[in-house]
Amino acid sequence: MKVSRFAPYIFVLLWSTGFVGAKYGLPYADPFIFLALRLFIATFILFGIALLLKSPIALTRIQILNSALIGIFLHAAYLGGVFFAISRGVSAGTAAVITSMQPVLVSLLAIKILNERLRGSQILGLVLGLCGVVLVLGPSFESSVSRLGILAVFIALIGSTTATLLQKKRGAGIPLLAGTAYQYLVSGFLLFVIASATSKTDIQWNIRFAGAMVWLIFVLSVGAILLLLWLLNTSSAASVSSLLYLVPPATAVEAYLLFGEELNTQGLLGIAITALGVWCVLRTAN
């Protein structure tokens, strides 16, 4: 019980490091081949863990199809969009602000698609969370950014929103390890095809890139993703999605600690408002 209580915040901490890992690794590899390699390696790791734990691997055809569909939206569209945008010069802060609109979209769509109900305090929390994120990352917006990069971030937003709803609606009965492995396998193949078709397959191997790859595989693709899918299977879509509001502020703190990026009074106020918003949502979540 105690572990499940802290699980949402462990997820936020792990998920927030994704932008840091991208910042370290993307200068040395094209985004789609970077992600394809990451997902292929994670696929073998998860299948290996499933075998060791004697967890089911042979899924039904409908389970594989649902896993593939969720994976395409969550990994190919969301991760592919974010990584491509950052590679085109869009700041991590700008990408984080746009993708942080996901909790609002999920909550609104979940009312119709999942028959979830939102209480007044949850709606207030969602609004507070969005305001807090904008306060934290508002100064990071740039006057001139890649339009293609911004489009990619909105594709990422649509991808993560769709994946969250699909996981909640169709993914609950799928074995977690094998289901996630099939997500990675299909998404990795799709990203590899895109990378090959666009001749964007360059990788410059060095310690910095290898360190980023190892971190993204074990901490994000294994740890954070499995935790996210578990949370979606055990909590409402609205409450889980609201946690993504905490990711940009957490990333801002990490950037301050790791890279010395300034965190001003406005940023601290935004973090406080975001935390209050998430608390409002989680306190009354179904």
* d(C-alpha 50, C-alpha 39), whole Å: 16
Distances (CA, A) of 90 to 19, 83, 188: 12, 10, 23
94-108, 166-180, 248-262: which is most confident: 166-180
- In contact, 222 and 42? CB cutoff 8 Å: yes
pLDDT of residue 15: 85
How many folded domains does the chain comprise? 1
Domain, as residue range, for 143: 2-283
pLDDT of residue 77: 95
**Which token pair is 137?**
């990352």
Burial 205-243 (b: 16+ CB within 10 A, else e): eeeebeebbebbbebbbbbbbbbbbebbeebbbbbbbbb
Average pLDDT score, the chain: 82
Which of 41-45, 188-192, 236-240 comes out lowest in average pLDDT? Answer: 236-240
On the question of pLDDT at 197 being above 90, the answer is yes
**Which token pair is 19?**
């932008």
* d(C-alpha 143, C-alpha 149), whole Å: 14
12-26, 125-139, 231-245, 251-265: which is most confident: 12-26
pLDDT of residue 210: 93
* d(C-alpha 185, C-alpha 183), whole Å: 6
pLDDT of residue 286: 45
Instruction: Categorize the per-residue pLDDT at 138 as very low, low, confident or very high, splitting at 50, 70 and 90.
Output: low
Nearest to 181 by CA among 216, 214, 229, 215: 229
Instruction: Categorize the per-residue pLDDT at 65 as very low, low, confident or very high, splitting at 50, 70 and 90.
Output: very high
118 or 254, which is more confident: 254
On the question of pLDDT at 140 being above 60, the answer is no
Mean pLDDT of 258-272: 69
Q: How far is CA 23 from the centre of its chain?
A: 15
Instruction: Categorize the per-residue pLDDT at 1 as very low, low, confident or very high, splitting at 50, 70 and 90.
Output: very low
On the question of pLDDT at 190 being above 50, the answer is yes
Instruction: Categorize the per-residue pLDDT at 243 as very low, low, confident or very high, splitting at 50, 70 and 90.
Output: confident
